[in-house]
Amino acid sequence: MENVAYVSYLTGSFDIMIEAFLPDTEGLFKFLTQDLEKIEGISYAETWNVLRTDKFNYMWESENVGVGPAAPPEEAAPTPGHEDHQPATRGCPMFTVIQTDRGASDRLTEDAVFAGSGLDISFVRHELHSEEGLIEACAAADAIIPAYAPLTARVLDELPRCRIVAFMATGFNSVDVAAATEHGIVVTNVPDYCTAEVADHALGFLLDLGRNISRLHDSVRAGAWDYEACGKPGRIGDQSLGIVGLGRIGSAVARRALAFGLTVRASDPYVDEAAMTALGVEKTDLDAILECDFVSLHCSLTDETLRIIDAAALARMRPMAFFINAARGACVDTQALTQALADGRIAGAALDVVDPEPLLAGHPLYSMPNVIITPHSAFMSRVSEKEAREKACQEIVKALRGETPLYVRNPEVLERDDLRLSAPSPT
């Protein structure tokens, strides 16, 4: 029973966790307040955060009619020896942190960071997609965690308390950074939480395309047993990879590709030739990149990179070349890519991101046998998700304490007289 409950705790499957114990509510309480600490050192305060989640309370009330919701930590008697693990004392200033959209299935990680901060933080989750909804829900927010919610200049004008907009991702395109800066609001992201995951995903795409793995799998499932069903592939180590954007992820992809024997070239105006040479990469321009056997995008979405792969760029690629995008969908002209694939001007493509996202049902790319599409999942692993959530929340705690966060995306805001990091604490 405890094993089932433990796995359910790790995956956020609270309904299964409750069912593993009920009707033994005493056993469930013991598991949350004592057993988890013995298993992997999870503190009393952290395990109580399970009891603060909306989903847990809903399940508790559904299965325990008349028992009432799970008691918050301050109303529960602590397990002997755990008194020091109680959440922040009441009487401290209350801060409000709002997650606007795309929250995880649980809030264990966020609650654990906030509970251990020593601050009195109210963490509220929504699913907001309009300016009006954001203005109404976030007017009293001291910190905001967005995903795709549009934090436009109009919205930011109506957020007088907001000190920080903290993204749990590398991208931060849904906030008007200039407007945030004008209001003294710090914008942060987590640029390093999924470097390995995205690099692995991109190299997996390269190997899949270069070895016809998915296409041969589909052929076998259709009843064939023909190793030449998709033609004869080239030798991976004899080919070249062109990388657009040699930042953290691009560099990680380069190291992996070099280990497979590929010749690696890269185009990035912000990385000098000496740094590329030290990595074993040849610095070149976009035109030379497009002549490689594999072309892989790893650049941020900016005005410079918007539609950087358009019809003209695709026309310069070789007919036997493959295109990979694990960066941002809007870096590519989707219509031009679709047409190039349909016309056989390139051999295939592997896409973790598309524009728009998702593509409309019935889009031609979905049915092309030489196209692999994954649902913007390259970033995902159990480790990366937890790291992104923890680091974003740690940035918020720094901001609420008046400290400078680690990953500030608008550093010019730090020089402003109206910087809100130094604002008085709310009362």
**pLDDT single digits (tens) 330-349:** 999 999 999 999 999 999 99
pLDDT at 6 over 80: no
The CA-based angle 269-263-295, given to 5 degrees, is: 60
Same domain membership, residue 184 and residue 212? no
Adjacent-strand bridge partners of 188: 166, 408
391-413 pLDDT, tens digit each: 999 999 999 999 999 999 999 99
Same domain membership, residue 215 and residue 169? no
96-134 pLDDT, tens digit each: 999 999 999 999 999 999 999 999 999 999 999 999 999
Is the separation of the CB atoms in 121 and 89 below 8 Å? no
What percent of the chain has a predicted confidence (pLDDT) above 70?
77
Number of alpha helices (DSSP H) and beta strands (DSSP E) in the chain:
19, 12
Q: How many residues does the chain have?
A: 427
User: How many Cα atoms occupy the beta-carbon half-sphere of 137 within 13 Å?
Assistant: 23
Same domain membership, residue 353 and residue 238? yes
Q: Which residues of 7-32 are buried (b: 16+ CB within 10 A; e: fewer)?
A: ebbeebbbeebbebbeeeeebbbebb
Same domain membership, residue 210 and residue 188? no
pLDDT higher at 246 or 71: 246
Q: Please state the pTM of the whole predicted model.
A: 0.77
Final residue belonging to a domain, choices 42, 59, 85 = 85
Q: 135 vs 144, 150, 163, CA distance in Å?
A: 12, 11, 15
222-243 pLDDT, tens digit each: 999 999 999 999 999 999 999 9
Same domain membership, residue 69 and residue 7? yes
C-alpha closest to that of 162 among 182, 186, 139, 143:
143
Q: How many domains does the chain have?
A: 3
In a domain, 41, yes or no: yes
What the block records as the tokens of 30 is 């013991």
In a domain, 259, yes or no: yes
Adjacent-strand bridge partners of 244: 267, 297
**pLDDT classification of 424: cutoffs 50, 70, 90:** low
pLDDT higher at 19 or 74: 19
In a domain, 404, yes or no: yes
CA separation for the pair 201, 60 (Å, rounded): 39
3-state secondary structure of 40: helix
In a domain, 122, yes or no: yes
Catalytic residue among 328, 345, 389, 409: 328
What the block records as the tokens of 387 is 């790291």
Q: What is the DSSP string of 71-91?
A: PPGGGSPPPTT-GGG--PPBT
Q: If you search the block for the tokens 């007088």, which residue do you land on?
A: 160
Same domain membership, residue 218 and residue 340? yes
Neighbours of 289 (CB within 10 A): 23
pLDDT for 27 equals 65
Catalytic residue among 357, 401, 403, 412: 357
pLDDT higher at 184 or 31: 184
Long-range contacts of 270-276 (CB under 8 A, 24+ apart): 271/246, 271/247, 276/246
Mean pLDDT of 250-277: 98
- In whole angstroms, what separates CA 394 from the centre of its chain? 16
pLDDT for 422 equals 74
Same domain membership, residue 296 and residue 220? yes
Whole-angstrom Cα Rg for the chain = 25
pLDDT for 84 equals 34
102 in active site: no
Catalytic residue among 211, 307, 376, 416: 376
pLDDT for 92 equals 54
pLDDT at 91 over 60: no
pLDDT for 7 equals 44
Same domain membership, residue 350 and residue 283? yes
Residue 161 sits in a domain of what CATH number?
A: 3.40.50.720
Q: 258 vs 87, 254, 285, 324, CA distance in Å?
A: 49, 6, 19, 17
Final residue belonging to a domain, choices 67, 85, 103 = 85
The CA-based angle 179-183-186, given to 5 degrees, is: 85
What the block records as the tokens of 20 is 């593993």
What the block records as the tokens of 348 is 């295939």
Same domain membership, residue 160 and residue 40? no
CA separation for the pair 301, 327 (Å, rounded): 8
In a domain, 427, yes or no: no
In a domain, 301, yes or no: yes
In a domain, 426, yes or no: no
Contacts of 361 (CB under 8 A, 6+ apart): none
pLDDT higher at 44 or 356: 356
pLDDT for 65 equals 39
CA separation for the pair 246, 50 (Å, rounded): 41
Same domain membership, residue 34 and residue 72? yes
Final residue belonging to a domain, choices 85, 111, 140 = 85
CA separation for the pair 250, 279 (Å, rounded): 11
**pLDDT classification of 177: cutoffs 50, 70, 90:** very high
Domain that holds residue 330: 195-373
E strand residue ranges, 189-303: 240-244, 263-267, 282-283, 294-297
Neighbours of 91 (CB within 10 A): 7
pLDDT at 69 over 80: no
Same domain membership, residue 26 and residue 158? no
Same domain membership, residue 182 and residue 62? no
Is the separation of the CB atoms in 216 and 370 below 8 Å? no
The CA-based angle 40-43-46, given to 5 degrees, is: 110
